[in-house]
Structure formats: structure tokens, C-alpha cells
Amino acid sequence: MANSPTSDSLLRLIQTHTAELAIGHSTLRNQGARNVLANARKFLKDLDLRHFSVDAPTAFRDLLDEETKKLKNALPVGAQNWGAARKALNIFLRDVLYSRYLCEEYGFCLLEPWLELPLDNDVAGGLRGEPEGKSLARWQGIKNLTPDLSDNYQDVAERVAERRCIPRIHLDLIYWRRSK
């Protein structure tokens, strides 16, 4: 694919498709403003995934923080909260990892151990139900998620993932809608 004259345009289409599917109606519901989905999707469609080709977890985390702030600011007034932006970005990056074409093109296999678990009510409940998560603070919703609280949940996710012998990003598959 890298030698194909349409590879860049095909990658753009795949990234657009991935953003559309990753950020569904339930992903960012009740965020307090109109056009939250449209703004988040547009941001993710235009995100330069080449920037994520980093070689250290600290560089990845710095970039994740920077892009979270940018996405937060791209959301409509009334919905500009850190938690919604981080959740959308983490879900999108997970789906980039799951896309063979995007993953191979941008080296996301190397990033897999650093990707964060997208946090929401289902995931928080799953983590709080684990032996490692008994001391986690009660989930107050994505609107109230702060960087420090996210770090606490991510630390627990990392310990649970280590026990299960999987990268923490995949815990989303275990916890998502498991009670339904």
C-alpha cells in the first residue's frame, strides 16, 4: 500500500471512517452543547497520526495531553471538558490500533502498551469491581473527570491489565456494556 499512488487518500478515508465509527452517539452524549459529535469527529479526522510515532511513553503521554487540550478547545462552548476530550481521543486511538492499515502506517503496534483505557461509567464500574480498584474514588461522570482522577483510574487499569496479561487498552472490551 505504501507504494500505491492512492495510499494517502485511502489512509485519509480510513481515518475518516474510523473517526465516524469511534465517536458514536453514546460516546459523548449529554455533554451540554450541540455539535459535540461533529466537532470531535472533525478534530479526529484531521489529527496528524504521524505525530504519534514516538519512541518513549513520556513522549506519548505529553502528546496525548497536548492533543486532549486541543480537542477540548475544539468542542462547542458548554461541552469543553477535559474528560470528554480524553475519552474521545482514547477511543479513537484504540480504533486506530485496531485498524490494520492505520496501525501499520503509523506504527501503533509500538504504542499499544502506552494507550490509555477510555474511561466511562462502564469502565469505571469494572475497574472498581477489581481487587486492584477497591480504593478508587466514586465515578462522577465524564464531565467531572480530571487529569489526576484519570491517572488514578489508569494506574489501576495498568495493574489489572498486568494481572490479566494484556495491555490496558483492551480492558475496554471486557468492561464495555458487560452488565447489559
pLDDT per position as a tens digit, 81-116: 999 999 999 999 999 999 999 999 999 999 999 999
Q: Residue 150 belongs to what H/E stretch? A: helix 147-164
Q: How many helices (H) and strands (E) does the chain have?
A: 9, 0
Distance between CA atoms of 106 and 148, rounded to whole angstroms?
29
Encode burial over 159-168: b for 16+ CB neighbours within 10 A, e otherwise: bbbeeeeebb
pTM, two decimal places: 0.90
Question: What are the tens digits of pLDDT across the range 111-163?
Answer: 999 999 999 999 999 999 999 999 999 999 999 999 999 999 999 999 999 99
Q: Is 118:90 a contact under the CB 8 Å cutoff?
A: yes
**Cα 19 to Cα 23, 38, 89, 156, distances in angstroms:** 6, 10, 10, 27
Domain map (residue ranges) of the chain: 7-114, 121-175
Q: Amino acid identity, residue 38?
A: A
Please tell me the total number of residues recorded for the chain in this structure: 180
